[in-house]
Structure 1
Amino acid sequence: MRNLNSQINTMFNETIYRIEADNGSRIKKFTIRFTKSNQKYSPEHLEALLGSHEKAIREVPLLFLRIEKTARQKYLVLLDEERRRELLKVMTDHVEMLVEKMNRKYRDIFKSQKRLEEFDSRIKNTLMAGKQRINDETKKVSESIGEKLSSSSKIKPEELARIYELDESTLIDLKAIEPLQAIHEVFEGVKEDNVAKNAFEGMREGIVICSKFGTQLGIDPSQNHTEAARRLKKRSIAAGTLVLKDLIDAIYILTQQLKLPGEKRNNEIITKTHSRLNESLNKHDGAEKVIASLQAFFQMLSIV
């Protein structure tokens, strides 16, 4: 799941930026407050400054592991050993960087106050505690993810990829895993119903057909490597991806209505969703095949 790791890493980059920005804001406020009272670099001021840096250091494993855990539980992906090592390195690098900034910023001040030994000891302990916290919390999160996923009844992303003939990375990019899991849960509840079985199979077939939109273009082979052909392919695939997302989202919305008792269904939502789906599909060749495959599903919702 390299694509998932990449997305998580992007969130890490945003998070460390936010951690540093928050720390900078706290430090500025402390400095203004203590300067106004003629206590700049007093023991109390320095304690507040170091405490702010230490808070930032504690936030690295806290926030990073929260992101990692949330994403992996959402997509039902275990934290494997390779990713665990990568995660440890990323967090350790950030903690070391924050400690080094703390050291560079205040070392001379403590030295001038003849408190260098105290400062060096605190820096050392802060770094050791930060690394220990990273190891301990990563182990806890890894175990928690494993326990959560082992007890989950949701269909796994790799199984969804097999059923719909899509890459797991595509499912992630489309944000389709949760909707498809929810769709499967609804149909799992009526799996003994032959009508529902036919509707589900038609729905699956429709998604598979739709996933091919934009991938088969009638381009002259001799022109296949031209810039114009590449641009056409890119636009066509992008359009096909959008309609596939529209289809999955529409089926999800309609399935949520399907699981309700007939008298509690919102006919306006059903009608509008069906209409938008037809409008989206009809822009593409092959739309009639997708719509035909969905007829059994539509009939379950009394859409004619």
Structure 2
Amino acid sequence: MEGVLEDYKKKYRAVHKQRRSVEEFDKKVSQMLAGAKISVETEVTNLKLKLETEIGTSEKFSPSELSKIYGVDEPVLVDLQIIDPLQDMRILFKKLEDSGCDGEVFVSLNEIIQMYAKEIRNVESTVWSGRSVDQRKETKMHVAKLSLNLKEIVLSLHDLARQALLEKEKRNEEIILKIRSNLEKLFKSVADSEPLQNKLEPFWGVLN
């Protein structure tokens, strides 16, 4: 683009010099060059964003794949609105692993979700074993509560992964501590919370 404008300038500058309008001509050429640079930079930026979006999209798992990975029915994923966080979280895990973090840490984080989802299925399987309507209703309410807990666990792990991607001095320690405390409470909603705690423990090393 600069070469084209330079040729244009050489070709017509002499004419404008004769007309005593060379200053105006030079100014116009400079404006054209600046505008062309902005246009090119904008196109490059747009192309970069488009490529990043397409690459990010290609890395995302479909809802049906997420359902198989975590053992959560697709309609439940939709109802809990955790498809996007799960997709994004797996991309964050990949970025952390590419930056040098131990991949086994993220396997453990995924297993937390899988284990909690299994606990929900176990409770759900007992719904119709209740002898009375009230017992069945109580079990269903318990399943609903556990499902909401699952959503909180997913969002919490997602937020921790985002914190881990930040430079250490930019991380919000207060938020990290709050998430840790909340996860400990959520884990205690199942009969045996220790396995869940153990799966989470290695991730604190990433955040330290």
TM range (shorter): 0.5 to 0.7
Report the CA distance shift for 1:166/1:283 in structure 2 as closer, same or farther (over 3 A): closer
Contact 1:164 1:207 in 2 (8 A): yes
Q: Which amino acid is 1:158 matched to? A: S
TM-aligned CA deviation for residue 212 of structure 1: 2.5
Report the CA distance shift for 1:194/1:292 in structure 2 as closer, same or farther (over 3 A): farther
Contact 1:165 1:208 in 2 (8 A): yes
CA distance in 1 between counterparts of 2:112 and 2:133 reads 32
Residue number in structure 2 paired with 1:152: 57
CA distance in 1 between counterparts of 2:92 and 2:120 reads 30
Residue number in structure 1 paired with 2:185: 279
CA distance in 2 between counterparts of 1:169 and 1:269 reads 31
- For the pair 1:199 / 2:199, whether they are aligned, the reply is no
Residue number in structure 1 paired with 2:140: 234
Matches within 5 A, 1:1-304: 152-153=57-58, 154-192=60-98, 195-217=101-123, 224-302=130-208
TM-aligned CA deviation for residue 169 of structure 1: 1.2
TM-aligned CA deviation for residue 222 of structure 1: 10
Contact 1:202 1:293 in 2 (8 A): yes
CA distance in 1 between counterparts of 2:192 and 2:148 reads 15
RMSD of aligned residue pairs (Cα, Å): 2.9
Q: Which amino acid is 2:173 matched to? A: N
Report the CA distance shift for 1:186/1:235 in structure 2 as closer, same or farther (over 3 A): same
Gaps of 5+ in 1: 1-147
Deviations 1:182-241 (A, max 9, x none): 111111123357743111110111101111334435x99995353133112202211210
Deviations 1:96-128 (A, max 9, x none): xxxxxxxxxxxxxxxxxxxxxxxxxxxxxxxxx
Q: Which amino acid is 1:252 matched to? A: H
Q: Which amino acid is 1:233 matched to? A: T
State the TM-score, normalized to the length of structure 1: 0.46
Report the CA distance shift for 1:216/1:168 in structure 2 as closer, same or farther (over 3 A): closer
Give aligned-pair identity as a percent: 29
Structure having greater relative contact order (Cα 8 Å, sep ≥ 6): 2
Contact 1:214 1:233 in 2 (8 A): no
**Segments ≥4 residues shifted beyond 2 Å:** 148-155, 190-196, 212-217, 219-226
CA distance in 2 between counterparts of 1:173 and 1:222 reads 22
Q: Which amino acid is 2:106 matched to? A: F
Contact 1:214 1:239 in 2 (8 A): no
Deviations 1:59-102 (A, max 9, x none): xxxxxxxxxxxxxxxxxxxxxxxxxxxxxxxxxxxxxxxxxxxx
CA distance in 1 between counterparts of 2:142 and 2:100 reads 37
CA distance in 2 between counterparts of 1:260 and 1:150 reads 21
Contact 1:250 1:273 in 2 (8 A): yes
Higher helix share: 2
Aligned residues: 155
Contact 2:63 2:83 in 1 (8 A): yes
Gaps of 5+ in 2: 1-52
Contact 2:80 2:151 in 1 (8 A): yes
TM-aligned CA deviation for residue 255 of structure 1: 0.9
Report the CA distance shift for 1:220/1:236 in structure 2 as closer, same or farther (over 3 A): closer
CA distance in 2 between counterparts of 1:290 and 1:273 reads 15
State the TM-score, normalized to the length of structure 2: 0.65
Report the CA distance shift for 1:283/1:293 in structure 2 as closer, same or farther (over 3 A): same
Contact 2:127 2:139 in 1 (8 A): no
